[in-house]
Each structure stands twice: as structure tokens, then as C-alpha cells.
Chains A and B, each alone.
Chain A
Amino acid sequence: MAPIVDGLAKKYQGKVEVNRVNLSNDWGPGDLFEVNAVPSYVFLDSTGNVIDRQEGGNPAALEQGFQKASGG
């Protein structure tokens, strides 16, 4: 999924930032966001509220999340 995320990040550059979090050594952030599966994607607004969240690799759903986060 990483290439797809990179492509979408480039497409929505300046509107949506991407923060990649590796849970291999520390599952703390995963507990914080109640992540149950990897990969998981959580879209936050500029103040930290959850806009959308997805589990598993679904490129179409991921792009919908980008659109929602960018306000479009």
C-alpha cells in the first residue's frame, strides 16, 4: 500500500499531510488510536479530531478519505 499512499500524498500535496507510524517496536500509538489491524489509516483534521479511519488496503476507500480530509 505504500506506493499508493505515496501517490495520493503527492496528489493531495499541500492539503493533506502524511504521518507514517511504525508500530513494530512500539504499539503505544496503536493503542492510542485503537488500531486492531495493520495497515490502518486514520485521517485527522488540523486540530486532531478523527475524520475517517480505515483498516486494510483499499485504494478507493483511501482516496475517499483523502478527499474528505482535504475538504473536497
Chain B
Amino acid sequence: MKCPNCSNETSDAASVCEWCGSLLYQQSHAPLSPEQGRAQQGYPPQVPTPAGYPPQVPPPRVGVPAPPPGGYAPGDAGYYGYRPQPQPPRGNKPSDPSPWYYSPWPYVVALVLVLAIIGGVLVTQKSTKSSPSGSTYADFVVGGKPTLVDFYTDT
């Protein structure tokens, strides 16, 4: 191998010139241009898209088979450990009944029950309301029949 710096012959295995000490691998490890990289990875050369046209879809890699429908499975050539799994549809299934708390009826029934209880308590209190002397409305009923209580004064 000839040193590009001093032009002296040096060993092919050497990374440094035995005569001048300059690095030799720079020639063989120079960074690749994008086109060189594409060619090295098996892609055909990229043709620039003319103005006004949609961008090109990358062509399939030369010598690399297309992935199977549904993605790779473990054991397939080209499987890297990830395979998209089918996802369940979002939201409730059409056959699922809506939860009970989405319906207004439980709340309506509960409200009616509460009002009925309150009303019953008030009526009971009214009919059993007693005066300081201990008498109640029922004490003014005469003969177990509907009664008119006539309140009057002497004046």
C-alpha cells in the first residue's frame, strides 16, 4: 500500500504510515455520500421528483422480500420482536347495554321515593301534631266521623 502523504510503500495491514506517520484508514473509511449509502444498503439510485409532482414512494429494497400481510410473526425472517396486534374497537360494543347510571330513571325513581317519604313524614307529623296540653288533631274528631272544628271566641 502506498502512503498518500509521502508516497512510500507501507504494510497493507498498517493504519499509520511507517515513514511519515500519517493515518492511512481515512482513505478507506471516508464517509459515504447519501447516494453511496443508498447503493450500499440495496436501494436503487434516487431520482429527484420534478416540481409539481407528488413525492416519490420509496421502492422496495432490492433483494429484501416484502413483509407478509399482517406483519411479521415470531420465527419469520425479518421479525424484530414487534408485531402490531389487532386492537379491540373503542367504545361500548353495540350489544352491551348502557350502564344503569346513564339512564335518568333510577334518579327519577329515587327522587319520587324521597319526596314520598318526606310527604308521609309531614302528613304524619300534621295529624299527630300535639299541643302543649298533649292533644292532637285526632282528639277533635267526634264520633269517629268527619268533623268540623268551629273555633270561636266569646267576643
Contact = CB atoms under 8 A, between A and B. Distances in A.
Interface of A: 2, 5, 9, 14-24, 28-33, 35, 38-51, 65-66, 69-71
Contact of B148 (A17, A33, A49, A71): A17
B153 A23 contact: yes
Interface in B53-99: none
Nearest to A54: B148
A48 B136 contact: yes
Interface in B113-155: 123, 126-127, 129-133, 135-155
7 contacts: A16-B147, A19-B142, A29-B140, A32-B135, A41-B151, A44-B138, A48-B139
Nearest to A65: B148
A18 B132 CA distance: 23
A23 B126 CA distance: 20
Contacts, number: 125
Contacts of A41: 148-151
Given A19-B140, A22-B153, 10 more contacts: A19-B141, A20-B152, A24-B155, A33-B137, A35-B151, A41-B148, A42-B149, A45-B141, A48-B140, A49-B127
A35 B150 CA distance: 11
Interface string B3-43: 00000000000000000000000000000000000000000
B137 A19 contact: no
A70 B138 CA distance: 17
A36 B56 CA distance: 95
Contact of B147 (A14, A19, A35): A19
